[in-house]
């Protein structure tokens, strides 16, 4: 006899209706890239002042770790929020092919923005927001063992998500 766990586990949404349990899935991806923190709006001295050694004219590199977190109802048949194979294929095509072994300053998305890791996190969020098989919750980007950045997306403040992760 085939039995499903969802016959016993249900949640109640805000409308008082039973629904499938919602879970979060976090997945990590790694890429290496170089960049130079610099803006044409500043003169040479101001760029050195603001960005320090990261303003080196020859750039510098990092081994970035990106963690994306999605949420959604757990599928009754697969037991998953989404297919990891589909998510990995999306990441390879949309993130890794664009960012790995690249100078971030040469990418179109950084032509008018300084390639800080804060802006990398925003760009990664914009990329993964296009993945339609689950709802993107937030992204986490580690630049070094001391520096990491989180982004929940535009307008998330009213959802009370700040500081949740």
Q: What is the C-alpha separation between 47 and 56, in angstroms, rounded?
A: 10
Rounded Cα distance between 49 and 13, Å, is: 52
- Residues 87, 127: Cα–Cα separation, whole Å: 12
Give residue-wise pLDDT tens across range 104-135: 999 999 999 999 999 999 999 999 999 999 99
Asked if pLDDT for residue 1 goes beyond 50, the answer is: no
Q: Domain 19-153: give its CATH architecture.
A: 2-Layer Sandwich (3.30)
Q: Is there a contact between 147 and 60 (Cβ–Cβ < 8 Å)?
A: no
pLDDT of residue 93 exceeding 70: yes
CA distance 13 to 7: 16
Q: Measuring CA to CA, how many Å separate 4 from each of 22, 29, 103?
A: 16, 32, 49
pLDDT at 150 over 90: yes
Tokens in use for 74? 């757990």
* Contact present, 99 and 29 (Cβ < 8 Å): no
Give the CA distances from residue 91 to residues 3, 4, 43, in Å, rounded to whole numbers and listed in that order: 34, 31, 37
pLDDT score of 155: 61
List the beta bridge partners of residue 83. Answer: none
Give the pairing type, strands 18-19 and 102-103.
unpaired
What is the reported pLDDT for 6? 43
Number of H helices, E strands in the chain: 4, 7
Q: Taking 90 as the threshold, does the pLDDT of residue 160 lie above it?
A: no
Which pLDDT belongs to residue 17? 45
Q: Does the pLDDT value for residue 30 go beyond 60?
A: yes
C-alpha 29/C-alpha 109 separation (Å) is 19
Helices marked H in 35-134: 44-51, 84-91, 97-99, 117-128
CA dist list (Å): 82 to 47, 57, 149: 44, 43, 25
């Amino acid at each position: 006899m085939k039995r499903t766990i969802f016959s016993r586990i249900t949640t109640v949404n805000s409308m008082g209706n039973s629904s499938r349990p919602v879970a979060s899935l976090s997945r990590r991806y790694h890429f290496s890239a170089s960049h130079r923190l610099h803006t044409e709006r500043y003169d040479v001295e101001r760029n050195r002042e603001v960005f320090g050694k990261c303003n080196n004219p020859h750039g510098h590199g990092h081994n970035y770790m990106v963690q994306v977190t999605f949420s959604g109802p757990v599928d009754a048949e697969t037991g998953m929020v989404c297919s990891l194979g589909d998510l990995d294929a999306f990441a390879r095509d949309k993130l890794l092919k664009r960012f790995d072994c690249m100078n971030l300053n040469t990418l179109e998305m950084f032509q008018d923005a300084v390639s800080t890791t804060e802006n990398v996190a925003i760009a990664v969020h914009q990329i993964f927001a296009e993945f339609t098989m689950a709802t993107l919750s937030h992204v986490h980007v580690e630049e070094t063992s001391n520096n990491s950045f989180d982004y929940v997306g535009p307008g998330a403040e009213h959802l009370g998500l700040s500081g949740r992760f």
